[in-house]
Amino acid sequence: MSENVITMVFTDLVSSTAIKLKLPGKDISENNRIYRDTILLPHRHRVESSIAAYGGRKVETIGDAFFLVFANPVEAVQWASIIQISHINEPIPTPLGPLQVTIGMHTGSPLADDERFIGHEVDYAARVAALASAGQILLSEATEVLVRLSRSTNLVTHRHSDRNLKGIGSVPIFEVLYNNKQPQPLKDASPPKEITNIPETAAINQVMVTPNLGSTDTQTPAPKLTISTNVQKQLESILIQRIGPMAKFAIEQALEQVITREDLLKALVIIVPEQLQEQFHQEAKNILELAQDLPVSTQTQATSPVANPQTTVPETIPPATIESSFVEFCQIELAKLIGPMANLIIKQTISSNPKLNQYELVDTLAAKIPNSHESQEFRQIVTSKMNHDPKPDNSEDKSFFLASALHLVSYHT
């Protein structure tokens, strides 16, 4: 698994205490044994026998609950859907009806503690899971964004209103609508007022979110914060050192939600591991304060592209004829450094920038590697391949190469 970003999943069983009390044992001890043998163990078998196939592993069990981690957020959501559907198609009977499960997850960079994980990111995942009612799969915004940007699944999500999570702050919560499921209320007793100026239901495999057609709200959305491209890249460079390749997505999503620099700073700080928050807060604050003091003309000038001195770019850059074999090579080399997230990152990069040439693709991918030494190593290896491979025939149709590249990445996802 990637050491930078993982998806943390918590599962639990609904009404387990009430179920035990209704079992036909002579006493509590016998009820516990019946519960273990006929309900808990069959559920545990489903979980433990399936997680490896989706790139996950068990961290620990806590009573009826599981704490699991996955290298890939897409596979985490797919696994969760399979588990919930299995409980619909092959129910485990209890005195209160079929056994029901709650699942919640968050993607981030927790602090490793031997084979376990601790810290703010784990708390975030647990808080999300605590909101789930029977049969629900809930996602944090970070997980939802990464899965949606991957465009590798037909799952649909519903956005609930923001919830105030203890120690986390006010954050959006997303529900996975697997198996044509309809959205259902979260478990918290007193939810805040629903947000009405955002889309509520979205297909994860779409880049543009489809608005809720049933909404009659006509409220004008609040103005969003705008920062220069240069400032955004500076923030990304310091955030990627703390949370890895998720940094770019995190900043983009934060900018969609906030209207002030102070709000942006708070939104970014909470996704950074606790032990790194203070230093990150100060660095990000300095970047934003400096940008506030610059005249608009200066900020605009700073956003003009500058050639990366580490990559030798020819004076005339050829058209964007990126061959599928080159994309595959990039994916393999990138995966060696950041893990299975590589295929998601490459796909998102090519999809959002279809006119990239090979040199720009290398620079973009190298910038997503948090370790500067490894970033340079990746750049050298891939650039060396470009310099030694035969140049593509420019008479070939450019769209053919890009289509092949996208197909390749989709295949490997």
Same domain, 169 and 38: yes
Calculate the alpha carbon distances from 391 to 106, 218, 333 in Å. Answer: 43, 54, 20
Same domain, 238 and 285: yes
Helix axes 141-150, 341-352, angle to 10 degrees: 70
Same domain, 395 and 351: yes
Same domain, 27 and 171: yes
- More confident position, 358 or 343: 358
Q: Give me the number of domains the chain comprises.
A: 3
Same domain, 74 and 133: yes
Predicted local confidence at residue 267, as pLDDT: 73
Same domain, 86 and 176: yes
Q: Which percentage of the chain shows pLDDT scores above 90?
A: 30
CB count in 10 Å sphere of residue 251:
21
* Strand pairing report for 6-13 and 65-70: antiparallel
Helices in 107-260 by DSSP H: which ranges? 120-130, 141-150, 229-243, 247-257
CB count in 10 Å sphere of residue 267:
20
DSSP letters along 49-76, please? Answer: HHGGGGTEEEEEEETTEEEEEES-HHHH
Each residue's pLDDT tens digit, 315-352: 333 444 578 888 888 888 887 877 656 676 777 777 76
- Identify whether 221 is part of a domain: no
- Identify whether 331 is part of a domain: yes
Closest CA relative to residue 12, chosen from 136, 110, 96: 136
> Pick from 251, 270, 302: which residue ends a domain?
302
Average per-residue pLDDT for the chain: 75
Contact 383, 376 (CB under 8 A): no
Closest CA relative to residue 156, chosen from 211, 113, 87, 203: 203
Domain containing 296 equals: 229-302
Q: Is the pTM of this model over 0.95?
A: no
Predicted local confidence at residue 340, as pLDDT: 59
Q: What's the token pair of residue 217?
A: 């709200």
- The secondary structure of residue 391, as a DSSP letter, is P
Predicted local confidence at residue 299, as pLDDT: 38
Same domain, 66 and 136: yes
Compute φ and ψ for 390, nearest 5 degrees.
Answer: -60, 145
- Identify whether 328 is part of a domain: yes
Predicted local confidence at residue 245, as pLDDT: 55
- When mean pLDDT is compared over 42-56, 304-318, 320-334, 391-405, the highest value belongs to 42-56
Helix axes 372-388, 324-338, angle to 10 degrees: 160
Same domain, 361 and 394: yes
Residue 253: Cβ-neighbour burial (10 angstroms; 0-12, 13-18, 19+)? buried
Tokens 């989706």 sit at which residue? 54
Considering only 49-53, 230-234, 268-272, 324-328, which range has the smallest mean pLDDT?
268-272
- Identify whether 213 is part of a domain: no
Considering only 72-81, 101-110, 376-385, which range has the smallest mean pLDDT?
376-385
- More confident position, 116 or 313: 116
Q: What's the token pair of residue 37?
A: 């043998």
Same domain, 283 and 333: no
Each residue's pLDDT tens digit, 204-248: 433 223 333 333 333 444 566 788 888 888 888 888 777 665 677
Same domain, 350 and 261: no
- More confident position, 133 or 219: 133
- More confident position, 278 or 312: 278
pLDDT category of residue 290 using cuts at 50, 70 and 90: confident
pLDDT category of residue 293 using cuts at 50, 70 and 90: low
Helices in 188-302 by DSSP H: which ranges? 229-243, 247-257, 261-269, 274-293, 296-302
- The secondary structure of residue 236, as a DSSP letter, is H
Predicted local confidence at residue 207, as pLDDT: 29
Q: What's the token pair of residue 225?
A: 């914060």
Considering only 46-50, 185-189, 284-288, which range has the smallest mean pLDDT?
185-189
Position 68: which residue type? L
Return d(Cα 138, Cα 268) in angstroms, integer: 21
Closest CA relative to residue 344, chosen from 388, 267, 409: 409
- Identify whether 318 is part of a domain: no
Same domain, 156 and 25: yes
Give strand pairing partners of 159. Answer: 174
pLDDT score of 138 more than 90: yes
- More confident position, 301 or 173: 173
